[in-house]
Amino acid sequence: MDLTKIPQIKHTDSNNFFLLSGPCAIEGEAMALRIAEHIVEVTDELKIPYVFKGSFKKANRSRLDSFTGIGDEKALKILRKVSETFNIPTVTDIHTEQDAAMAAAYVDVLQIPAFLARQTDLVVAAAETGKTVNIKKGQFMSPESMKHAVNKVTETGNDKAIITDRGTMFGYQDMIVDFRGIPTMKQYAPVVLDVTHSLQQPNQSAGVTGGRPALIGTMARAGIAAGVDGLFIETHFDCANAKSDGANMLDLGLLKKLLTDLVALRAVLNQF
């Protein structure tokens, strides 16, 4: 896929990795604009192609009483406002075929959650909107099996597919990234490493997902060294009180230093 096919994406000639980043869930307009403003400032300075990420709805929570969203249309309108305010593309998750057409009216990239990566009707519905489709590799899927997920997009006539690796289940409460899969999946589509979700500790007894955010830098550097095309990093200015995935998100104040280091690492690797 040619990254320039994503509307409004900038810095595509910088030879940098691209970045999908933002909060796990859209909690309100002010928080979304605050996070986007900071990331746009940093990525413009570092010449990183950037797509703002925010889920308009969280349909895959552990418990019935978990936060799922502020309302579909309200959250999607906030994503549109972020895009219009900062002239940047946006990405959001979809969970049903009906979500595809609805979300496509507001965002530039439709994301297929990892648990739904094999749902043919969902993937095809996303592809048929003509939007870029980011398919997260299922925690239960091999790198080789992602060829077929990408084919579901391309066989609709849509050549805009991305694969995101978010780790593989290791035991019952941990995730492991097998970096051997990166070059395999790059044969099928650009590959993104989901840094923060790869550090989740799901299926906790309390029904609230844990995480290991102290390892975000380690995981991101490993991804760049392994040759990923992009990084996915969820971030928030108040992780402790975030309504979704606060346990594995990066504090917004730490993002600039991390990205600065990663750009420097990428520059070294570009010499080989």
Lowest mean pLDDT among 31-45, 84-98, 139-153, 159-173: 159-173
Q: What is the mean pLDDT of the chain?
A: 94
Q: What confidence score (pLDDT) does residue 192 get?
A: 98
Average pLDDT of the segment spanning 243-265: 94
pLDDT, tens only, 176-228: 999 999 999 999 999 999 999 999 877 554 555 677 889 999 999 999 999 99
Q: What confidence score (pLDDT) does residue 207 get?
A: 53
Q: How confident is the model at residue 87 (pLDDT cuts 50, 70, 90)?
A: very high
Place of tokens 């997260």: 136
Residues 27 and 238: beta-carbon distance below 8 Å: no
β strands within 102-257, DSSP E = 109-112, 132-136, 161-165, 168-169, 175-176, 191-194, 200-201, 210-211, 230-236, 250-251
pLDDT, tens only, 39-74: 999 999 999 999 999 999 987 766 676 777 899 999
Position 272 pLDDT exceeds 80: yes
Average pLDDT of the segment spanning 238-265: 94
Note the residue count of the chain.
272
DSSP string, 70-125: S-HHHHHHHHHHHHHHHT--EEEE--SHHHHHHHHTT-SEEEE-GGGTT-HHHHHH
